[in-house]
Structure formats: C-alpha cells, structure tokens
Structure 1
Amino acid sequence: MATAARTSLLTPAFVALAAVDLLYFTAAGIMLAATPLFTRDVLGAGNAGVGVVVGAFGVTTLLTRPFAGRATDRRGRRGLLVVGAGAMCVLTLAHLLVDSVPALVALRLLLGVAEALFIVAGFAALADLAPPGRSGEALSLNSLALYLGIALGPGLGQILIEAAGFAAAWVAAAALFGVSAVVILALVPETLEEPEDATPSALVSRAALWPAFLLFAGVAATGGFLGFGVLHAREVGLAAWGLAPLVFGATVVTLRIAFATLADRTEPMRLAAVALLLDAAGLVVMGAVASPVGVLLGALLLGIGSAFLTPAVFAAVFSRVAPAQRGSAAATTSVLIDLGLSGGPLVVGLVAAGIGLGPALVAIAALPLAVGGIALARQAGRKEAVRTAP
C-alpha cells in the first residue's frame, strides 16, 4: 500500500501506468476505426445503425461507473485495472464470431462494463500518484499515452484491415489489451491508501458535477468526430482517412507536452470554457468545409480544445475532494464522459440519417458552444463578485 508523500511525478509506477495506457488505448484506437467500418461494410448498417453500435458502448459504461468508483475507493485500483483490461481482451476476440448488428450491439454493451472498470480505476490511480497541486500536469503527461494510442491505432487498424481483413484488426487489438493486463500485474502497484473510516464513498460526487458537465459537452463533440470522422473523411475524398484521427491525436499530444502545467497554473474552469469554444469551432469547420482540408483543419481545432479541456476539468475535480473520495469523483466525471461518448455519436448518426454527416457535425457543435459560453459567463460573474466584495 502506498503511504509516503510523493514529490516526484515521474516515478516507476507513474511510467508503468502510462505504458499500460499506451497499450490499452492503441487497441482502443484500432477498435474506434474498425467498428464503424465493420458495421457499415460487413454488416450493411446505415448511419443510424452505426450510431447505435458506437453509442451502445456507453450505456453499460454509464451504469457501471458509479459502482466501479465505490469499489475502487474501498478495494483498490489495481484489481479493477486488471479485470477491465483482461475482459476487453476476451470480448474483442469475440468479434470474430459476430455476424449481425444485434450481436455486435450485445458485445459493445459488455465492452462498456469492462471499460468502466479500467477507466475509473486508472483515473483514481493517476490522482494517487500525482504530487499535491500537480493533478493537471499528471493527467496531461499520462494522457499522452491515451492520445498516442488514439492517433496511432486507427492508422494501424487501416493497415491491418486492408492487408488481412477485420479479423486481423480484432486479433491485434485483443493482443494489446491482453499485454496491458500483464503489465499491470507485473509493474503497477496498488496506490490506494487505507481509508480513514469505513464509510462508503458516494455513488455521485456533487463536487464533480459542474466541471464534469463541461467535460461532457466537449466529449460529445469529440465522440461525434471519433464515431464518424473516418466516414466523413472518406465521403469528402480523403483517401488516407486515418490522417483525421492522426492529426487530432498528434495535436493533443504536442500541446499536452508543451503546456503540461497550464491547468495547475491558471483558473481551470476558465481554461475548460475556452477549450469548449475551440471544440465547437473544429466541428463547424469540419462539417461546413466539405473537403479534405476542412476535415484536417477541423481535427486540428478539435485537438487543440481537447488538449486543454480534460486536464483542466480533472484539476478542478480533484482539487475539490479528499483522497478517499477520488474513485467516486472519477466515476462521476467519467459518467459524464460516457454520456458524451455515447450521446455524441448517437446524435450525429440520427441527424446524419436525415441531413448528412457534414451538417450533423455542425449541429452538434451547438452543445460545446453553449456550455462554454455559460461557463465563461459564470467565471466572469464570480470574478466581478470577488472584486466588488467588501
């Protein structure tokens, strides 16, 4: 059990957790690219069907997160990480047996449970490993693995699919999930300190709700892009459709390296609000400029917003809760992430069925635009209240 105060961020445990995330999210990147294409090209579904398949993942993730948060606060982070990664491995291999949309939806529902366990435990472990006042920096650096995986995974998926079909993509992703579980067992220690009392953590952390709602708005925008970006890129003539997620992920990685400490040095909620406005701009450009240039420029802007949004939100969240409540706070925040990841593709898919993918991406930009504007107004109001207070 970890008990000593940490002063160094780049500890062996922190590096090992980052390696696990790189493996895990490279596999997830393969799945992000392969799933919508498999649903359309092999199973014959339309845009609405693709939206249901991609969005189904978030339903069980949403239901599982609060209980995963309570479990990780009471029983530890490491066990849930192993179970989540191992289950992802097995369920990804099961894609080899899928021959219908309902069967794929069922698998996606089970994948959502496994994802919930892994992500909640991972966020809590990351907060445990961060020195005081450096949670934003810790998330910025750790998330490099996540976005490298999302950047590299779709391109790897395209190579595998074109060379050997979807089976090769499923097997490769499953292998990466399996290796990540092995690395956890070998190198990632338990990070949870003994809780101060036996009181169960809350299923919903009230302190996390408003910051998490900002993250929801941004993730819905990103989810719409991740669910349909490669399809939209193909429609507008971008032959190397893997470039769209590559530009997005590379932008996030570059900016999180260059500005790793920004969320800890500024007002995190204001930074999150500005990031939402950039997300909205990215979707508008991507959907309105129906060309490869429009797709890549939109992915760039969306990447800039995403680079700053998540560290800012988690810096705000973890500054508001005690260590023994981090699992609950991470669960509450990730529930809103799930709503965005599932709702974004679902809305884009349903709207695209009527008006096309480009206009649908523009339509969903209204969410981060509205929420970002409200957040900026709230921050300005609080600043004025402080200035005029006696």
Structure 2
Amino acid sequence: MARLLTPRFALLTAADLGYFTAVGIAVHTLPLYVTGPLHSTKAAAGVAFGAFAISALFLRPLAGRLTDRLGRRPLLLGGAALAAAGLALTAFATDLPAVIALRLLLGVAEAAFFVAGFAALVDIAPPDRLGEALSLNSLGLYLGLAAGPPLGEVLAQRSFATAWFAAAALCLASALAVLPMGETGTPGQAASTKLIHRPAVGPSAALGASLAAAGGFLAFSALRAQEIGYENTSLPLFLYGATVVVCRLVFAKVPDRVPPLRLGAIALAVIAAGLALTAVPHLLIAGSVVLGVGVTFSTPAFFAAIFATAQPHQRGAASGTASAFLDLGLGGGPILLGLVANVSTSAALAAGGGIALLGCLWTIRLRRAH
C-alpha cells in the first residue's frame, strides 16, 4: 500500500491547522463583535459572517485555473498572508461596512488558500487512499474549528483586538508551514482552460447544501447558547468540532469503502437530524454532536465524488468548482438563515436542517442517475 503520512502531508495539514484555527476564532468572535461593540442586529451578524463568500464565490474558479497554471504553493502562501492582513485590520474596524469590506477581502484569501490546498492534497495522496487522506487532512481544519472558538472566547474576554491579532498570527504561521513543502503540482503543463469543471457540478451542489446547513449552525450556535443561558457560549461549537475530529480519526477509512454518493446522502440525513435537535433548547448539545457525526462523512464523500471526475491537470478547476458551491453554502446559508434568526435562532437552526434534507434528496437523485 502506498505511503500516505509523508512530510509534505504533515506540512499541509499543519498549514490547514493554523489557518482554520484562525477561522475558528473568527467564527466565534465575529457575531458577538457585530452585535456587541458595533451595536448591530443578528441579521447584520449573518450578513457579516457570510460576506466573505461573495468575493470567494466569484474568485474560486479563477483560483482553480491559477492553481493549475502557476502551481499550488504560490496561492497557499498568498492566501495565508492576505488572511493575516484582513484579520489584523478587523481589530481597527469601527462600523459594519468596514467589517463587511474586510470579510470580502478574507473571501479572496479563502479562495486562494482553500482551492490550492485541496489540489495539493490530491497531488500528494495515493489514489486508492484519497478518502482516507481527505479525512485525516481535514483534522487540521476541524481541530482548528474546535479549538478556535474557545480560544477566541478567552482572547475576546481580554479584548476583541487581542482575538483578531491572534488569528492573524496563526495565518502567518500557516504560511511558514507551506514554505518548506515545495510545489506539488506541475504548473502550466496542460492546465485546464475552463473555469468550471462541469462533471463536478452535481456533487458540488450536494456539498453546498451540507455546508449551508452547517454554516447556519456555525453562525448562530453561540447566540443560541447565549439565549438559552449557557455560561460557556463556545461549548456547542467546541463539541461539534471535537466530534468531527474524533470520528474522522476513528472512521478515516470508511470513505474509501462506501460509494461516495451513498455515504453523502446518509451524511446529509444525519446533519438534518442534528440540526432538528439543536432547535430544541435542552438538546442543543446533543444536536451539536449528531451534526458533527454527519459532517464527519459529508465532506470526504462529496470531495471524493468530485475529484473522481477530474484528471490531474483538471484538479485545480475541479477544486475551484467545488469551492464555489462551498461558498454558496457557507456564505449563503448564514445570510439566508440570518433573516430567520432575526425572529428566532431556533427556527433558523431548524431551517438549516430542512436545507440538509433537500440536499439528501438531491444526492439520492444523483446516485440513481449515475
């Protein structure tokens, strides 16, 4: 069996850990920052949270093309450095338009880093262990999302500026991890000329539904916990991330053994059930754990289905296409559900479960078509 755990794999995972711990800090801090010092509404918090997706959505396909033409490393370095600048400048933002402008800048960074990171991972991973590679590499992402919110809570108690500067420093650490990794692709050699990799659109749409549902939880779980009376408002986010990390370790080989669209449909059904539980006050914690179980399998399943449609010189384009739907989910979900959250955060979480259920039905249809 080909070796998976190489120095390059470890460096890429470390870079992801730094970057997404910074994202985790922002996930917890941003809604409280907008509704606290900036004196804006919950709907405004949803808009600010999802604003990064507007720029990222349009730039992901371009980032995919640049990843195939210029290589993975330049976009990983540039994305991490730009994210560091955007997060540091957020400490100086004194009104909602400034925060939204910086979130748009972070969308540019996200497009470059995320697209190049997934293309590099597929370059590095043995083809017959891609699902396992996606599961293990994503530990950096979910450890970051698990550790970032409680870290953000501790830092924000000192000051919001401290939280933003710490997040920026983590992004710089991520860039340093990329430096010795080297280039993993073959820049410019028969690179895809298409911005959209059409065979990837179907499974990417299902991925977007799973992330729209999860994005609503990320945006509003801290506010929901605050409403219920939790002293530790980051607890649901921590348990969600920790559940994903543990399950990804224990079940890392499952995505290589179950057909990806079948696994994706099951995962979406579990996500829908988890969000339905979070809408019930005394079941917020249980729902956070169930949601984490569903998300454990959804991303590896759908990315395996997406990259199965791409040749090596099309991996950047496939990653860009998938990432565009990721932005529609993580950005559009909080914005749409934010309108509901302005009336009731419980209803917003339940509506997120409805989105996941629709995604499950779409995935079943895709699987039958295949």
TM-score range, shorter chain: over 0.9
Q: 1:8 to 1:366 in 2, by over 3 A?
A: same
**Of 298, 301, 306, which residue of structure 1 is paired with 2:287?**
298
Contact persistence 2:202–2:366 (CA under 8 A)? no
The normalised TM-score by structure 2 is 0.97
Q: Give the partner amino acid of 1:320.
A: T
Could you tell me which residue of structure 2 aligns to residue 365 of structure 1? 353
User: Does the alignment pair 1:181 with 2:175?
Assistant: yes
User: Does the alignment pair 1:217 with 2:209?
Assistant: yes
The normalised TM-score by structure 1 is 0.92
Contact persistence 1:135–1:318 (CA under 8 A)? no
* Structure 1 residue 363 displacement after superposition: 1.7
Which SS does the other structure have where 2:229 is aligned?
coil
Counterpart CA distance in 1 for 2:338 and 2:121 is 34
User: Does the alignment pair 1:202 with 2:209?
Assistant: no
- Deviation per CA, 1:41-77, whole angstroms, max 9, x where unpaired? 1101111111111111110010110100000001100
**Of 260, 270, 280, which residue of structure 1 is paired with 2:272?**
280
Which SS does the other structure have where 1:365 is aligned?
helix
Counterpart CA distance in 1 for 2:187 and 2:32 is 46
**1:334-349 equivalent positions in 2, closer than 5 A:** 334-349=323-338
Contact persistence 2:22–2:170 (CA under 8 A)? yes
Q: Which runs of 5+ in 1 are unaligned?
A: 1-5, 383-390
Contact persistence 1:73–1:201 (CA under 8 A)? no
* Structure 1 residue 134 displacement after superposition: 1.6
Counterpart CA distance in 2 for 1:49 and 1:155 is 23
**Of 104, 109, 122, which residue of structure 1 is paired with 2:99?**
104
- Deviation per CA, 1:116-167, whole angstroms, max 9, x where unpaired? 10000000000000101221111100001110000000000101111x1101
Contact persistence 1:124–1:327 (CA under 8 A)? yes
Contact persistence 2:68–2:187 (CA under 8 A)? no
Deviates more, 1:95-104 or 1:187-196: 187-196
Which SS does the other structure have where 1:98 is aligned?
coil
Which SS does the other structure have where 1:320 is aligned?
coil
Q: Which runs of 5+ in 2 are unaligned?
A: none
**1:130-141 equivalent positions in 2, closer than 5 A:** 130-141=125-136
Which SS does the other structure have where 1:97 is aligned?
coil
Which SS does the other structure have where 1:9 is aligned?
coil
Q: What is the root-mean-square deviation in Å for CA atoms of aligned residues?
A: 1.4
Counting matched residue pairs gives 370
- Deviation per CA, 1:308-359, whole angstroms, max 9, x where unpaired? 0000011111112101100000000010000000111111111122x31101
Could you tell me which residue of structure 1 aligns to residue 53 of structure 2? 58
* Structure 1 residue 201 displacement after superposition: 3.1
Could you tell me which residue of structure 1 aligns to residue 313 of structure 2? 324
Q: Give the partner amino acid of 1:369.
A: L
User: Which structure has the larger Rg over C-alpha atoms?
Assistant: 1
Counterpart CA distance in 2 for 1:62 and 1:250 is 28
Counterpart CA distance in 1 for 2:142 and 2:273 is 20
